[in-house]
Amino acid sequence: MIQVLNQQYELVQGSREVVLNFIDTEVGEDLNKPVGAFEDRTIRYLLIHTVNTYFQWLGYFAMKMPFDLLNDEGFRTIDEILPLYKQMDELVTKFLNNFQEHLNTPLDNVRSGNRRAIATPLELFTHVMTHEFHHKGQIMTMCRMLGYTPPDTDVIRF
């Protein structure tokens, strides 16, 4: 099963690469522009929010790693954001290696705000990936609202 999850994550990474390259080459500094339809959030905000979600659920909740919420204001360019995604990829590798024999064993832990939660590693892994894709769609919509025509960012691209 772990091989399938690794392959699945590679598909997510491929889709993400299209998004990040598009932002780098086409959107540029507009990743910092507030978009009214998204409560004046920025593309940058959603990119950092995605990283925070992976680190909060896979690192802090599942593997009890220290975690300080990243403030998106500290990351104004794609070049400052890309290393965070590399760290996120490293975290996913550690997470999958750590739980490969226990994917369906419930974890009972405290999440942010001292709220207790119970979830299996498989549920956590599925959550962070689907969460990322949810925001990927929002980011592509934001790009369109800012005047850019986004590329096909699905896992299967035509």
Residue 152 located in a structural domain: no
Asked if the model's pLDDT at residue 47 lies above 80, the reply is yes
CATH of the domain at 47: 1.20.120.450
Asked if the model's pLDDT at residue 56 lies above 70, the reply is yes
Residue 158 located in a structural domain: no
Asked if the model's pLDDT at residue 142 lies above 90, the reply is yes
Q: 3-state class of 92 per DSSP?
A: helix
Cβ count near 58 (within 10 Å) = 24
Residue 156 located in a structural domain: no
Is pTM beyond 0.75 here?
yes
Residue 40 — left, alpha, or beta (φ > 0 → left; ψ -120 to 50 → alpha)? Answer: left
Q: What is the span of the domain harbouring residue 22? A: 2-145
Residue 151 is classified by DSSP as P
Residues 31 and 47 sit within 8 Å (Cβ to Cβ): yes
Residue 157 located in a structural domain: no
Residue 155 located in a structural domain: no
Pairwise CA distance, residues 64 & 44, whole Å: 27
pLDDT of the residue at 152: 94
Asked if the model's pLDDT at residue 107 lies above 70, the reply is yes
Residue 88 located in a structural domain: yes
Residues 152 and 158 sit within 8 Å (Cβ to Cβ): yes
Token output for 132: 């990322």
Query: Based on the structure, what is the number of domains in the chain?
Result: 1
Residue 153 located in a structural domain: no
Pairwise CA distance, residues 106 & 40, whole Å: 37
Asked if the model's pLDDT at residue 14 lies above 70, the reply is yes
The average pLDDT across 17-46 equals: 98
Residue 68 located in a structural domain: yes
